[in-house]
């Protein structure tokens, strides 16, 4: 099993390459609030400029004095030219808010600027269609983050 996993990562060139730390603005239905987000993941840029990435994240936001906790994963695909990358995002999330758990899939986009070898900056926007035991609802999150590369 270890050899299959190692072979997969080697073939696609993906490896753990970064940690993101940022601030977010989250909206559930028409209620919004601010919070923080931390994620880690891997990325690759091929010779033709096409780039891909995966991220696993935890985010928290204070929405109407209630805490929303978000656990998710993103797949990103885009194009990088010099220090700027534009990408589309496909995402899944698990959320805890108002004593209920919801989950959903979403999409979005983002841009990253990496002017230094180990430091970058990014902006993401994602929208989700969520389902919980109580209701279906929309969840949106916009975040700005500092990217630490290694």
14-149 under CATH 3.40.50.1970, yes or no: no
pLDDT over 90 percentage in the chain: 80
Query: Is the pTM higher than 0.85?
Result: yes
CB 78 within 8 A of CB 86: yes
Given the DSSP bridges, would you call strands 50-63 and 136-149 parallel, antiparallel or unpaired? Answer: unpaired
Q: What confidence score (pLDDT) does residue 12 get?
A: 58
Residue-wise pLDDT for 36-48, tens only, equals: 999 999 998 989 9
Give me the percent of the chain exceeding a pLDDT of 70. 90
The string of pLDDT tens digits covering residues 74-132 is 999 999 999 999 999 999 999 999 889 999 999 999 999 999 999 999 999 999 999 99
The whole-angstrom separation of Cα 13 and Cα 11 is 6
pLDDT at 4 over 70: no
Query: What DSSP string runs through the chain?
Result: -HHHHHHHHHHHT--EEEEEEEEEEEEETTEEEEEEEEEEEEEEE-TTSEEEEEEEEEEEEEETTEEEEEEEEEEEEEEEETTEEEEEEEEEEEEEETTEEEEEEEEEEEEEE--SSSEEEEEEEEEEEEEESS-EEEEEEEEEEEEEE-
pLDDT band at 63 (very low <50, low <70, confident <90, very high): very high
Question: What value does the mean pLDDT of the chain take?
Answer: 90
| 19 vs 134, more confident | 19
Per-residue pLDDT, 78? 97
Residue 26 has pLDDT above 50, yes or no: yes
* Every domain of the chain and the residues it spans: 14-149
* Most distant CA pair in the chain, distance: 48
CA distance 57 to 13: 21
């Amino acid at each position: 099993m270890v050899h299959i996993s190692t072979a997969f990562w080697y073939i696609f060139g993906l490896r753990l390459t970064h940690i993101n730390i940022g601030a977010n603005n989250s909206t559930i239905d028409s209620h919004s609030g601010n919070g923080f987000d931390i994620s880690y993941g891997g990325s690759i840029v091929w010779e033709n400029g096409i780039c891909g990435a995966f991220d696993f994240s935890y985010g928290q936001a204070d929405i109407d004095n209630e805490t929303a906790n978000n656990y998710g994963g993103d797949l990103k695909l885009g194009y990088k030219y010099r220090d700027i990358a534009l990408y589309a995002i496909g995402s899944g999330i698990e959320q805890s808010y108002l004593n209920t758990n919801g989950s959903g899939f979403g999409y979005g986009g983002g841009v990253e600027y990496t002017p230094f070898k180990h430091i970058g900056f990014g902006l993401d926007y994602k929208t989700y269609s969520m389902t919980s035991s109580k209701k279906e609802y929309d969840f949106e999150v916009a975040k700005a983050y500092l990217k630490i590369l290694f």
